[in-house]
Amino acid sequence: MPLSIEQFICRSDNYGVLVHDPDSEQTLIIDAPEEKPIVAAIERTGWKPTMLLITHHHADHVAGNLGLKQRYGMPIYGPAAERDNIPGIDEAYDDGHTLSFGAYTIHVVSTPGHTAGHVSLFIPEAKLAFTGDTLFAMGCGRLLECQPPVMFESLKKIAEWPRDTVVHCGHEYTEANARFARSVDPENEVLQRRAKEVERLRASKEMTLPTTIGDELDTNPFLRWADPAIRGTLGMEDATDSGVFAELRRRKDAF
């Protein structure tokens, strides 16, 4: 049977996600922004958590760690480079590590940029990924601990996953991201359509995630460094891909 997903809002705009494998009866928690809504999701689904997987050390991704561990006792995994800042961590993982999840294999992919040790989690057989605060719908994370070329290399890795990979991200930032995307890619009709759909969803407080790699390749300016129209808007026709990315990130920070 395919994996089941339960996605819900925590705090104000963070996402909590549970992933359940009906065959092995194992359940992942991806990040722990807040204990209460995660407990509510566990009770609603009846799924018993077997692992908590952390993408990065920020408080709005680990705040529920100790409370959840006390309740459910599942091991907590987090990025090796950030282990000292991840409450209750049992096992550290890093680029290239794999974890078994029933018949599935979870691949740990190092995606620094937002934080220096940030990892994303990719389950190729399920065409499913979790990018924390690296990739967002039509956006990417702020560069709090790294220079732009580091994030560029991380996004390049993500951009190579199959187009039909379903991607869960750490935050509901899509509407604001769409406004910036339209400002640098105004002629992109796929983006215009998507932005309208996002406005409609947000008007009724619906979630705009998950997304897919294909939708991001078509509409996310932070994966479209090679696009001639975006390069034209920026006046950077002959710049490097990494240079275009850095300029986009700089403009978004000031947007």
**Residues near Zn ion, by CB under 5 A:** 58, 133
- Tell me: is residue 20 an annotated ligand-binding position: no
| Residue 115 C-beta: closest distance to Zn ion, Å | 6
Tokens encoding 53: 């997987």
For residue 31, give the 3-state DSSP assignment: coil
- Tell me: is residue 97 an annotated ligand-binding position: no
CB nearer Zn ion, residue 99 or residue 116: 116
- Distance of alpha carbon 76 from alpha carbon 29, whole angstroms: 9
| Residue 73 C-beta: closest distance to Zn ion, Å | 26
CB nearer Zn ion, residue 133 or residue 247: 133
CB nearer Zn ion, residue 12 or residue 98: 12
| Residue 57 C-beta: closest distance to Zn ion, Å | 8
CB nearer Zn ion, residue 109 or residue 126: 109
Q: Which residue is nearest to Zn ion (CB)?
A: 58
| Residue 5 C-beta: closest distance to Zn ion, Å | 21
- Distance of alpha carbon 57 from alpha carbon 3, whole angstroms: 26
- Tell me: is residue 107 an annotated ligand-binding position: no
Residue 1, Cα to own-chain centre: how many angstroms? 24
Angle at 139 between CA 93 and CA 17, to 5 degrees: 50
- Distance of alpha carbon 211 from alpha carbon 168, whole angstroms: 7
- Tell me: is residue 238 an annotated ligand-binding position: no
Asked whether the beta carbons of 189 and 182 are under 8 A apart, the reply is: no
CB nearer Zn ion, residue 49 or residue 117: 117
151 burial via Cβ count (<10 Å: 0-12, 13-18, 19+): buried
| Residue 33 C-beta: closest distance to Zn ion, Å | 10
DSSP 239: S
Residue numbers in the known binding site for Zn(2+) are: 56, 58, 60-61, 114, 133, 171
Residue numbers in the known binding site are: 56, 58, 60-61, 114, 133, 171
